[in-house]
Amino acid sequence: MTSPTPGSVALENSIAVKPTLLSIRKVAKTFGPNVVLRDISLEIAEGEFLTILGESGSGKTTLLRIVAGFENATSGELWMGAERLDDRPPYRRPINTVFQSYALFPHLSVEQNVGYGLRVARRPESEIAQRVAEALEKVRMTAHAQKKPSKISGGQQQRVALARALVNRPRLLLLDEPLSALDANLRRQMQVELKSLQREVGIAFVFVTHDQEEAMVMSDRIALLRSGELEQVATPRDIYSRPATAYVAQFIGHTNLLRADVRDGTVRCGNLSWAASQPNGPALFSVRPEQIRLGFSSAAGTVRARGRVLHSAFHGATELIRVKCGDGLVITLRTAGSTVIGNEVEIEFSASDAVPVRESPERG
């Protein structure tokens, strides 16, 4: 196991200290015969940026909708402080949502859209004007205040949707894949903007996405959902360097999953072997491509192998190459510089970088 870095410990500690805002307790949801969510328990801390990550069909949107109030959980409870939320309709929860399709009201101007929640709550017009102006300023849409949604671009609509939700000062903001409709560059830009916006307003954000890179960039914590169950909840660093299961290891970034057998403190995988303190029996290990190096060094505790380069993919700063080893094992590693296909190479990695992971059970 890799030792926790000072940074990650500090972060974990700081998160552990933050009070809980929303408590999701044993929430389950079935639609007829389909079980979409099973027994989800999760605590969302004040002011944190939590991403619910998962493939399509994992249940992440359903979970979000249950928190927002658009679906009722089949069982389980939602608590905010001492108040129970799950028996309240959406308009009585201090939670606001940014929809995937933005859901701006077409018959209202940008200004009227943003001020909608305040007008419904019958705030005085002077207060509304001021708060709306502030919110528009924050998302840089002041110049477009009088336009109708059909007259502004997708990226601009997304910012209006954000302002419309935030102006109400909710205790929690839910974002349902808000960046999925944007092109790659705009998306990266918005990721940075959203993150700094969240820091600025200090409200807890729960962000739903299927893009693991996005989750890693923006989140304080990631909750990985698979087939309706939480596979792992951890900081991006921890979920990357200490994946709990094979699924997590494969979902986040690239990895090599090594099926090995442990006997009396020695792990054997094909021609590779190293020492580890696992119980006897079959085991699964995850080694990240960037932890594997070309060439042999003389360091202790390294695992070495020889093989032939099968394939290489150019990724700009690095290259991802696949090497076929003598016993048929195919290893993926990341190198700088270029490699020629068909070359014989030597590869090695530190035994301590091989992280043991659980098998992920099949789920219906």
What does the binding site for other proteins look like in residue numbers (CB under 8 A)?
A: 68-70, 72, 89-91, 95-97, 99, 101, 103-107, 116-117, 120-121, 148, 150, 164-165, 168
Of 106 and 282, which has the nearer Cβ to other proteins? 106
Residue closer to other proteins by CB (options 172, 345) is 172
Query: Between 37 and 234, whose beta carbon lies closer to other proteins?
Result: 37
Q: Which is nearer to other proteins, 161 or 357 (CB)?
A: 161
Please, what is the minimum distance in Å from the beta carbon of residue 360 to other proteins?
A: 33
- Least distance in angstroms from the C-beta of 33 to other proteins: 16
Q: How far is the CB of 158 from other proteins (least distance, A)?
A: 13
Instruction: State which residue, 164 or 226, has the beta carbon closest to other proteins.
Output: 164
Residue type, 183: D
State the nearest-atom distance from the C-beta of 97 to other proteins, in Å: 5
CA dihedral 298, 300, 301, 306 (to 10 degrees): 10
Cα 335 from Cα 23, distance rounded (Å): 44
> Minimum distance from CB of 348 to other proteins (Å)?
53
Q: Which of 34, 35, 100 is nearest to 65 (CA)?
A: 100
Least separation in angstroms between residue 148's CB and other proteins is 7
Q: Would you report the helix, strand and coil content of the chain in percent, each value rounded to 5?
A: 30, 35, 35
Nearest distance from residue 15's CB to other proteins, in Å? 27
Which residue, 207 or 251, has its beta carbon nearer to other proteins?
Answer: 207
**41-61: b (≥16 Cβ within 10 Å) or e:** ebbbbebbbbbbbbeeebbbb
Minimum distance from residue 146 beta carbon to other proteins (Å): 15
Residue 247 CB partners (closer than 8 Å, separation 6+): 224, 226, 231, 360
Which parts of 83-220 are beta strand (E)?
Answer: 83-84, 95-98, 172-176, 204-209
d(CA 251, CA 223): 12
Helix/strand/coil for 140: coil
Shortest Cβ distance from residue 290 to other proteins (Å)?
41
Residue nearer to other proteins on the CB measure, 204 or 333: 204
Q: CA distances (Å), 282 to each of 247, 260, 277, 279, 357, in order?
A: 17, 6, 13, 9, 11
Nearer to other proteins, 70 or 296 (CB): 70
Three-state DSSP at 49 gives strand
The four Cα atoms 245, 250, 256, 262 give a dihedral, to 10 degrees, of 10
Tokens linked to 151: 């007259």
Backbone angles phi, psi at 79, to 5 degrees: -125, 135
The smaller minimum CB distance to other proteins, of residues 126 and 150, is found at 150
Structure tokens belonging to residue 60: 């992440």
**How many CB atoms are located within 10 Å of the residue 84 CB?**
12
Which amino acid would we find at residue 57? G
